Amino acid sequence: MFAAATKSFVKQVGDGGRLVPVPSLSEADKYQPLSLVVKKKRCFLFPRYKFTSTPFTLKDILLGDREISAGVSSYQLLNYEDESDVSLYGRRGNHIVNDVGINVTGSDSVAVKASFGVVTKHEVEVSTLLKEITTRKINFDHSLIRQSRRSRKAVLCVVMESIRTTRQCSLSVHAGIRGESMRFHFMDEQNPRGRDKAIVFPAHTTIAFSVFELFIYLDGAFDLCVTSVSKGGFEMEETATFALLYRLRNILFERNRRVMDAISRSQLYLDDLFSDYYDKSLSMSDISLKEGTHIRVNLLNHSIPKGPCILCGMGSFKRETVYGCFQCSVDGQKYVRLHAVPCFDVWHKRMK
């Protein structure tokens, strides 16, 4: 009966789908601001989630003994009185009958009356809490954290607001025929056939709540998912590994781009050198034919293997040659490899 009344309250109040009805009167005191609840999906056939209360608060799963400084503000929300007629042939009517256990013989509907009176809304100061959690870490040794990590379907949530009654409230159910005058009897002697049921619960009972999901990182830091787009849960090790590999990939890609740019610039420089060489006449550029200049030699005759040309063999294409010069040296090497034409002449032209 209590679950049916809280569901009806949430359906009528709305709040954009964020409000969750309290499922049981015995657990109503566990849905207070900053309390922890576990959110689980029932199965793939049911899109709605099931919320399970825990005996812990947000402070209990954090490292350190410092209290959470975020306050809770409260204000009156509305005055709620509801009477509804529910068919026994619907899912909600069957749930009420099974929950309450009234006599429905000869009846086709049940009348439900909920008198909550003035209800108040209590909500956590979100901005203050967001600033505080930036310096706090999750205690992975806590039993609730260990159990939640083992279940990948479980998401830890923090109760951010709760709606409570302010006075003693009553719920009553009467079974009858649709169209009759529905009367509610609260005394057993006036209800010989068990067609009426009523319960009374105390003031300050929580009837609905809303939550923010927690996303917990491997280093113990965590975020509050303040929008419905962001989802809570635990950062998985494979997710962290993938993120690291993605960063390494970007670093290698950037390094490769810089190398290719350098090669491209060097290739343009060589092209300019060669074009300058070919644009001039042989008598002006063929330095090796002049007297007293360095001499081309076949390095194979001196047991030196074929290798990349020092001018044009360092780009993207490894242009190799067997020719070189013994009169030149680079980096402690007593010879340089140079193509006979035009690299030999271009090299010595630059040397002069």
DSSP letter string, 9-72: HHHHH-TTTT-EE---GGGGGG--TTEEEEEEEEETTEEEEEEEEEEEEGGGGBSSSPPP---E
Query: What distance in Å separates the CA atoms of residue 91 and residue 87, rounded to the nearest whole number?
Result: 9
- Beta bridge partners of residue 169, listed in sequence order: 201
Place of tokens 């950062």: 235
Q: What is the mean pLDDT of each run of 10 residues along the chain (352 residues)?
A: 82 79 88 92 67 91 87 89 69 59 59 85 91 89 89 87 91 66 41 64 91 90 86 72 74 81 63 53 41 77 87 70 86 84 79 60
pLDDT at 341: 80
pLDDT at 284: 37
Encode burial over 228-266: b for 16+ CB neighbours within 10 A, e otherwise. eeeebbbeeeeeeeeeeeeeeeeeeeeeeeeeeeeeeee
- 246 contact partners, CB below 8 Å, separation of at least 6: none
Query: What distance in Å separates the CA atoms of residue 323 and residue 314, rounded to the nearest whole number?
Result: 16
Q: What is the pTM of this model?
A: 0.59
pLDDT at 268: 59
pLDDT at 121: 93
CB 83 within 8 A of CB 123: no
pLDDT at 90: 57
Query: What distance in Å separates the CA atoms of residue 309 and residue 322, rounded to the nearest whole number?
Result: 9
Integer CA distances (angstroms), 98 to 64, 88, 181, 197, in order: 46, 11, 23, 12
CB 270 within 8 A of CB 311: yes
CB 42 within 8 A of CB 232: no
Integer CA distances (angstroms), 30 to 38, 53, 205, 234, 269, in order: 12, 6, 10, 24, 75
**Where do the DSSP E strands lie in 256-319?**
297-298, 307-308
pLDDT at 345: 81
